[in-house]
Amino acid sequence: MKKYFMDFHVHIGRSNSGSPVKITASRDLTFANIARECKYRKGIDIVGIVDCASPEVINDISQLMNSGEMKPLKDGGLIYQDQVTIILGAEIETKERDGGSSHQIAYFPYFEDIKEFSKILSSLVTNVSLSSQNCRISAQEAFKIIDQTGGILIPAHAFTPHKSVYGNCVKRLGEMFNKSTLKKISAIELGLSANTEIADRLKELAQFTFLTNSDAHSLPKIGREYNIIELEKANFKEILLALQRKEGRKITANYGLDPKLGKYHRTFCEICNYTTTSNPPIYKCEKCGSDKVVKGVFDRIVEIGDYQQSFSPPHRPPYFQQVPLEFVPGVGKKTLEKLFSYYGTEMHILHKASFQEISQVVGFEIAQNIILARKGLLKLSPGGGGRYGKVKLNEKKSKAENLQLNL
């Protein structure tokens, strides 16, 4: 078995021709640029690109395959320059009878599968060229179509207050999917404002594998959250076995933001822009009393959870709360470029480079911040209402002193 770094949720902003795909994503996020970023800067071995049902993107994929830069794998997926495995996916929006909407991601093993799904999708959405369009069908109906087309379905960012199964639709997945479908859904994506400890307050989630993915809307955000997955080879068939935890394949670690850094961790007031700090769940603003709030992920999970404390099943891998390099105090674009020029990829910097090695390139203080971020020792203020949390600069030094330079 071999361990791979995997980010299974990355968006495309534009096609090679400049046509928009994911409106809110960066223009630099083309299919080819994502593959290059994973190989040369991020060190991501497996990437799930979730806007591949767009006809414009299908054309881009065809061009890369025709040029020989990318080749199909026998057991599913594509291989870019013999190094990065790409899984083709499509994020869609489903709608339940009571009006709740959520995002689901369909992943397919073969290029022909995503082309067939694109044809089906074109009859369900207003503009199939754009990502995450409302299909006007339920999640259960979407599963049936995806399953019949040879793909798998994974609920995206399951707890966020907008467009997610728990945040905007139901308290239990059985209200959306029938029993036979739930047996075929092997994984749930946690999203940026949740982690394993929080999510495992829901008893029904014990059967699912948890995924921590970036949901990247720009090239620098790729690998913001990621998984370590153990496989014989990097292809669709092996990844599915890992999600199902079969034949020794499995997710061995989840790496994600501390939930406090996520955009929707705590309840946020839309009137006075206050992010709550009291014990969850909070339904009204503590500061101005308004009920016009965006309910936080933590508040929602406490509201619907079965347990007051987390209870993880034996198969659950460790979740490492890691602050990405771009959040680390003192690490700007120039510093990142300097680090990449010395150490190649972000995964190498986060997992292999020592304090001494990093400090030789960027100095003691920034190196210290990177190691503190790696160890989850930076003090954070929570995010909410679509705003990221922040690192509290005034409290990091006392934390550093306690490390006794064991960095």
Query: What's CA 230's distance to the chain center, in Å?
Result: 18
Q: Is residue 235 part of a domain?
A: yes
The top-scoring range by mean pLDDT among 153-167, 252-266, 344-358 is 153-167
Residues 237 and 338 in one domain: no
The pLDDT of residue 11:
98
Q: Is residue 47 part of a domain?
A: yes
Which is more confident, 207 or 351?
A: 207
Can you give the residue range of the structural domain that contains 350?
324-375+377-407
Average pLDDT, rounded, for the chain: 92
Q: Is residue 161 part of a domain?
A: yes
Q: Is residue 166 part of a domain?
A: yes
pLDDT band for position 400 (cuts 50, 70, 90) = very low
Q: Is residue 128 part of a domain?
A: yes
Query: CA 244, CA 208: separation in Å to the nearest integer?
Result: 8
The dihedral through the CA atoms of 156, 78, 20, 347 has a sign that is positive
Residues 199 and 54 in one domain: yes
Mean pLDDT, residues 141-166 taken together: 96
Q: Is residue 274 part of a domain?
A: no
The pLDDT of residue 393:
62
Phi, psi of 358 (to 5 degrees): -65, -40
Q: Is residue 275 part of a domain?
A: no
Query: CA 245, CA 355: separation in Å to the nearest integer?
Result: 35
The pLDDT of residue 115:
98
Report how far apart, in Å, the C-alpha atoms of 8 and of each of 47, 55, 99, 222, 239 are.
5, 21, 28, 10, 10
- The count of domains in the chain is 2
Model pTM score: 0.93
Count of other CB atoms within 10 angstroms of residue 54: 26
CB 200 within 8 A of CB 310: yes
The pLDDT of residue 406:
43
Mean pLDDT, residues 258-274 taken together: 89
Whether residue 127 has pLDDT greater than 80:
yes
Over the chain, what HEC string results? CEEEEEEEEECCCECCCCCECCCCCCCCCCHHHHHHHHHHHHCCCEEEECECCCHHHHHHHHHHHHHCCEEECCCCCEEECCCEEEEEEEEEEEECCCCCEEEEEEEECCHHHHHHHHHHHHCCCCCCCCCCCECCCCHHHHHHHHHHCCCEEEECCCCCCCCCHHHHCCCCHHHCCCHHHHHHCCEEECCCCCCHHHHCCCHHHHHCEEECCCCECCHHHCCCCEEEEEECCCCHHHHHHHHCCCCCCEEEEEEECCHHHCCCCCCEECCCCCECCCCCCCCCCCCCCCCCEECCHHHHHHHHCCCCCCCCCCCCCCEEECCCHHHCCCCCHHHHHHHHHHHCCHHHHHHCCCHHHHHHHHCHHHHHHHHHHHCCCCCEECCECCECCEECHHHHHHHHHCCCCCC
- Give the CATH number, domain containing residue 402: 1.10.150.20
Residues 187 and 331 in one domain: no
Residues 254 and 161 in one domain: yes
The pLDDT of residue 397:
47
Mean pLDDT, residues 66-85 taken together: 97
Whether residue 259 has pLDDT greater than 90:
no
What are the b/e assignments for 273-308, b being 16+ CB within 10 Å? Answer: ebbbeeebbbeebeeeeeeebbbbbbbbbbeebeee
Residues 329 and 246 in one domain: no
Residues 79 and 156 in one domain: yes
Mean pLDDT, residues 157-177 taken together: 95
pLDDT band for position 33 (cuts 50, 70, 90) = very high
Q: Which of 232, 259, 286 is the last residue of a domain?
A: 259
Query: CA 353, CA 344: separation in Å to the nearest integer?
Result: 11
Mean pLDDT, residues 297-320 taken together: 95
Residues 112 and 230 in one domain: yes
The pLDDT of residue 396:
44
Q: Is residue 26 part of a domain?
A: yes
